[in-house]
Copies of this chain bind each other. A is one copy, B any other.
Amino acid sequence: MNPHVIAILGGTGHEGSGLGLRWAKAGHSIIIGSRAAQKAQAAAAELNGKLGRDAVRGLDNAAAAQAAEILVLTVPYGAHAATIESVKDAAQGKIFVDVTVPLVPPRVSRVQMPAAGSASQEAQNLLGPAVKVVTAFQNIGAEHLKDAGQPIDCDVLVCGDDKEAKAAVIQLAAEAGMRAWDAGPLANAVIPEGLTSVLISLNLKYKVKASGLRITGIDA
């Protein structure tokens, strides 16, 4: 594998920490980003404790974005635009993986996309054309990630307009124990983002914690 420096912006939450732990185990260098550097350092220390070595550090989001090659955004939708603005300069020319799901509480089981069509398209609009925005991991709930040894019974749909960036993210998913698929252009990001509301709806209706989805009909 090809080790990368990956910044996980808003990485103090369960989703970002879960991804960070799996990528650190795979050999990548991880930077947890947060609005407050101290909070990021605390989360990094916790992950290093689980790893038994120092592969994770914590910085504020802008410094994390500056120091990394690949940026991964895992914030609640309410912090989406502001976090993007805070890393816009540092992100130029880089791969930017948007994991954000544009949920509108309290009706989180209803698909409600922003005017841009999806959070990822909104990110592309805010970041400008030089940033390689890729959408991925929205359907992998924190419940799936909490135990880094646990297999994940959910595929990852990857959308984006840059083929090489998508291939890199599909590779990162595989290194974190997930099967990922090239699901088309960034215009298709509404599907993985909106599927999260469908999965929340299924979780509520069928009383489970972590429904997911698998693609069929393709030999992987």
Contact = CB atoms under 8 A, between A and B. Distances in A.
Nearest to A187: B110
For chain A, give the interface size range.
35 or more
B154 A216 contact: yes
A178 to B, nearest CB: 13
Contacts of A185: 110
A111 interface: yes
Contacts of A54: none
A183 interface: yes
Given A191-B111, A191-B191, A197 B216 contact: no
Contact of A195 (B110, B191, B216): B191
A115 B154 CA distance: 31
A43 to B, nearest CB: 27
Interface string A185-220: 101101100110110011001101111111111100
A25 B183 CA distance: 35
A41 interface: no
Given A181-B202, A198-B157, A198-B183, A111 B188 contact: yes
Interface of A: 109-113, 153-154, 157, 181-185, 187-188, 190-191, 194-195, 197-198, 201-202, 205-206, 208-218
30 contacts: A110-B184, A110-B187, A111-B184, A111-B187, A111-B190, A112-B187, A113-B190, A153-B216, A153-B217, A181-B202, A181-B206, A182-B201, A182-B202, A183-B198, A183-B202, A184-B197, A188-B194, A188-B197, A188-B201, A190-B194, A191-B197, A191-B198, A195-B195, A206-B218, A208-B218, A211-B217, A211-B218, A212-B215, A212-B217, A213-B215
Given A109-B184, A111-B187, A191-B198, 14 more contacts: A110-B185, A110-B188, A111-B191, A182-B205, A183-B198, A190-B194, A191-B194, A194-B194, A208-B217, A208-B218, A212-B215, A213-B215, A213-B216, A214-B216
Give the 9 A-B residue pairs with the shortest CB-CB distance, closest first: A184-B201, A211-B217, A212-B216, A153-B216, A206-B218, A183-B198, A111-B188, A214-B214, A191-B194
